[in-house]
Amino acid sequence: MADSNSTATRSSRQAQPWTAPTAAGPVTATVRLPGSKSMTARALVLAAVSAGSSTLRAPLRARDTMLMAAGLQAMGATVSTGDDDLWVIRPQPLRGPASVDVGLAGTVMRFLPPVAALADGPVTFDGDPRARLRPMAPLIDALGRLGVDIDAAPGGRLPMTVRGAGRVTGGEVTIDASSSSQLVSGLLLAAATFDRGVVVRHVGPPVPSAPHLEMTVQMLRAVGAGVDNSTPDVWAVQPGRLAGRAWDIEPDLSGAAPFLAAALVTGGAVTVPGWPRTTTQAGDRLRELLSEMGGEPTLSTEGLTMRGTGAVHGLDADLSDVSELTPVLAGLAALADSPSRLRGIGHIRGHETDRIAALARELTRLGADVVEHPDALEIRPRPLTGGAFETYDDHRMAHAGAVIGLAVPGVALSDVGCTSKTMPQFPALWSAMVSQPEVEH
Ligand SMILES: O=C(O)C1=C[C@@H](OP(=O)(O)O)[C@@H](O)[C@H](O)C1
Ligand SMILES: C=C(OP(=O)(O)O)C(=O)O
């Protein structure tokens, strides 16, 4: 069952003010990270729409994934999350009435409505206040055109009720998924169980987060779905029975970002064990992005080791594929020896908070010179001074503040507890990393 600490809403959770620890010298640490949010979410959804039982080894236990588990359970699936290392999912006929709390999880709000359409009965969705502002309309419209009956708040937002009819006809549908790749992933993950499967055609400005879409396609194929993604911006899922399976969840590589960044900031070395040789996770791009910023990555059987060289350089990069890395890279950019331009990130204004505005505001407050563009951030480093750092209920804003705090004493986060969205152990892991004495090699 979902534990209350992991699923607590922002309003039911006390803010946890936290002054980020400053590193006394180079940090040398091995940091074992929890499972990937994106893989855990997909594995749970696929397990619930498969024909047999599934297991998830090393899943992520955090607010987003516990809400996913609870949502599926509310619709009738048996989801056993009691064992930290092995979750067991037994699919059952999906049913309403049910009520799903999406929290602030994009994965829950975009992946579960298509599943709810398969339930026999109404399923209501709502979440944190900010969840009501995140883009949902293209998914609601697409499901409507696939024959699903949905009542949503004006403008196509949460709260909403999906009046599941026990089956979905499916077929071809166009969608503008430029605001989130999750709108497409959600349709695809449930589609093999639609009578006619689905053909999703994106029309509009580019869809962000290509690696996340590739993860959706690969994980669908791994449970036996026929998926054709050979035409750009078109994804077809054949109707068919999906097989339950045993999933090994990789460590969360996007969650690795602040820890690896710490190696650059302090001129130390941080190792993340279990870094996969090949992966669809967006966070794997950290190897290349952080080496452009001055780090030296080594991938070995020990995992990924990022070494700082003592220098942090600015970064000019299109982050549209890996936009969830933006907050940490922006924090690092504020400490760099040259300006940065983080481009292609307009859609992150619809993430947990408007991340472009939030980063511009908080980095400026600490003394950086930041120019905010509709879809980019320009960061010109200047000497920073500690002070208040608002986290906006956004785990990755907290990561950014922690990274700056390594070098700037007195960076006072308004709430580090928001990291429970994807890594409840973040404050403990961070403090342990910063306090580890340097080891001479
Ligand atoms: O499908 C997923 O697991 C995710 C897709 C991406 O969403 P967007 O395409 O909305 O950026 C990413 O930013 C998010 O953290 C996780
Ligand atoms: C954008 C993110 O989350 P979500 O899955 O809620 O969209 C994120 O984790 O950076």
For each of the domains in the chain, give its residue range(s) and CATH number, in order of start.
Answer: 4-35+250-435 (3.65.10.10), 37-236 (3.65.10.10)
Nearest ligand to the C-alpha of residue 344? Answer: 1
Q: What is the pLDDT of residues 366-388, one digit of tens each?
A: 999 999 999 999 999 999 999 99
State which amino acid sits at residue 430: W
Burial 370-381 (b: 16+ CB within 10 A, else e): beeeeebbbbbb
User: Is pLDDT of 397 > 60?
Assistant: yes
User: Is pLDDT of 322 > 90?
Assistant: yes
> Which of 45, 65, 396 to mutate for ligand 2's pocket (most ligand atoms within 8 Å of CB)?
396
Predicted confidence at residue 142, as pLDDT, reads: 98
182 lines ligand 1 (CB under 6 A): yes
- Which ligand 2 atom minimizes the distance to the CA of 107? 5
Separation of CA 413 and ligand 1 centre (Å)? 24
Q: Residue 90, annotated ligand binder?
A: no
User: Is pLDDT of 203 > 50?
Assistant: yes
User: Is pLDDT of 13 > 70?
Assistant: yes
Predicted confidence at residue 436, as pLDDT, reads: 73
Separation of CA 200 and ligand 1 centre (Å)? 18
Average pLDDT, the chain: 96
Cβ-based neighbours of 170, under 8 Å, separated by 6 or more? 146, 191, 194, 195, 196, 197, 198, 239
User: Is pLDDT of 1 > 50?
Assistant: no
Q: Residue 42, annotated ligand binder?
A: yes
Q: How far apart are CA 99 and CA 280, in angstroms?
A: 32
Give the closest residue to 307 by CA, choosing from 316, 294, 326. 294
Q: What is the pLDDT of residues 232-286, one digit of tens each?
A: 999 999 999 999 999 999 999 999 999 999 999 999 999 999 999 999 999 999 9
Q: Residue 324, annotated ligand binder?
A: yes
Separation of CA 39 and ligand 2 centre (Å)? 13
Model confidence band, residue 4 (pLDDT cutoffs 50, 70, 90) = very low
Give the closest residue to 394 by CA, choosing from 68, 140, 131, 188. 131
Q: How far apart are CA 408 and CA 404, in angstroms?
A: 6
DSSP for 244-278? P-EEEPPB-TTTTHHHHHHHHHHT-EEEETT--SS
Give the closest residue to 429 by CA, choosing from 209, 272, 220. 272
User: Is pLDDT of 75 > 90?
Assistant: yes
Residue nearest to atom 1 of ligand 2 (CA): 351
What would the two tokens of residue 339 be? Answer: 């300006």
Q: What is the pLDDT of residues 18-61, one digit of tens each?
A: 999 999 999 999 999 999 999 999 999 999 999 999 999 999 99
Q: What is the pLDDT of residues 156-189, one digit of tens each?
A: 999 999 999 999 999 999 999 999 999 999 999 9
Model confidence band, residue 3 (pLDDT cutoffs 50, 70, 90) = very low
What number is the average pLDDT over the span 56-81? 98
pTM summary value: 0.97
Residue by residue, what is the 3-state secondary structure of 124-188? EEECCHHHHHCCCHHHHHHHHHCCCEEEEECCCEEEEEEEEECCCCCEEEEECCCCCCHHHHHHH
What number is the average pLDDT over the span 61-69? 98
Nearest ligand to the C-alpha of residue 397? Answer: 2
Q: How far apart are CA 326 and CA 333, in angstroms?
A: 10
ipTM above 0.90 for this complex = yes
Predicted confidence at residue 12, as pLDDT, reads: 72
**74 CB burial (10 A radius; 0-12, 13-18, 19+):** buried
Taking 3-state DSSP, the helix, strand and coil percentages for the chain, each rounded to the nearest 5, stand at: 35, 25, 40
Pocket of ligand 2 (CB under 6 A): 105-107, 324, 351-352, 396, 422
* Higher local confidence (pLDDT), 357 or 439: 357
Catalytically annotated residue among 250, 324, 352, 378: 324
Residue nearest to atom 10 of ligand 2 (CA): 324
Model confidence band, residue 11 (pLDDT cutoffs 50, 70, 90) = low
* Higher local confidence (pLDDT), 4 or 328: 328
Is residue 440 annotated as part of the catalytic site, yes or no?
no
- Which ligand 2 atom minimizes the distance to the CA of 134? 7
User: Is pLDDT of 9 > 70?
Assistant: no
User: Is pLDDT of 437 > 90?
Assistant: no
- Which ligand 1 atom minimizes the distance to the CA of 348? 11
> What whole-number percentage of the chain has pLDDT above 70?
96
According to DSSP, the residues that pair with 370 across neighbouring strands are 379
User: Is pLDDT of 2 > 50?
Assistant: no
Cβ-based neighbours of 67, under 8 Å, separated by 6 or more? 2, 7, 100, 101, 102, 103, 105, 108
